[in-house]
Amino acid sequence: MLTILVADIFGHSPALKQLAEQVAGQNALIIDAYAGQCFDFNNEQQAYDYFTEQVGVNRYALQLQEKLSIIKEPFNIIAFSVGGAATWLSSEWLNTTKVNRVVCFYASQIRHHPDLQPTKPVELVLPKHEQHFDINEFKKGLITKENVTITHSEYLHGFMNKLSTNFSPVAYQSYIQWLKEI
């Protein structure tokens, strides 16, 4: 089955390509906010600033919907950070696609859209904590939603991205195995 990875602020990076290959081999497709253009950001702040100024979450969600609407075979989505937020913004629309399941890692921006109701199963993998809001209060607001399950990890935002200062090799290996199993 096709696995679609929805990129974070770093976009289509060698690190994400490696993750895609580890999880889905040749049956992976990466969707990013920069139309496949690779950037060599110096740090997360530079990547964040570029994403915010050039794209933004709402526009990214529209780009994602456009790309998902033309896929005619069943697929799963694995999304990271702003990619998870763009996926969440699309979650009520996903029933028009052939998506089976969605996993969003540390998609903290969804806190701005708590009223959305996913039409397909969405698993949120939350970080241990977030700097700008109370992760436990955030979790309480989502835990009773239909089609939403939550895993509260012990790792920090960015733990799956080798380009992030919060990258965790232990978490990466553990969650790669978990993603292969699901």
The CATH class, in words, for 2-181 is alpha beta
Give 118-145 pLDDT, tens digit per residue: 999 999 999 999 999 999 999 999 999 9
Average pLDDT over every residue of 144-172: 97
Alpha-carbon distance of 34 to 156, in angstroms, equals: 25
Question: Where are the domains positioned within the chain?
Answer: 2-181
User: Could you tell me whether strands 28-31 and 122-126 are parallel, antiparallel, or unpaired per DSSP bridges?
Assistant: unpaired
Give 45-91 pLDDT, tens digit per residue: 999 999 999 999 999 999 999 999 999 999 999 999 999 999 999 99
DSSP state, 155? S
Alpha-carbon distance of 134 to 168, in angstroms, equals: 22
Give 98-117 pLDDT, tens digit per residue: 999 999 999 999 999 989 99
Q: What is the CA radius of gyration of the chain?
A: 15
Identify which of 13, 154, 170 has the alpha carbon closest to the alpha carbon of residue 80.
13
Whether 158 and 167 have beta carbons less than 8 Å apart is answered as yes
DSSP state, 36? T
Alpha-carbon distance of 175 to 133, in angstroms, equals: 24
Q: Is the pLDDT of residue 182 over 90?
A: no
The gap from C-alpha 157 to its chain's centroid, in whole angstroms, comes to 11
Alpha-carbon distance of 39 to 41, in angstroms, equals: 6
Core vs surface per residue 89-102: b (16+ CB within 10 A) or e: bbbebbeebebebb
Alpha-carbon distance of 157 to 26, in angstroms, equals: 27
Helix (H) or strand (E) holding 59: helix 57-68
Whether 82 and 54 have beta carbons less than 8 Å apart is answered as no
Average pLDDT over every residue of 25-35: 96
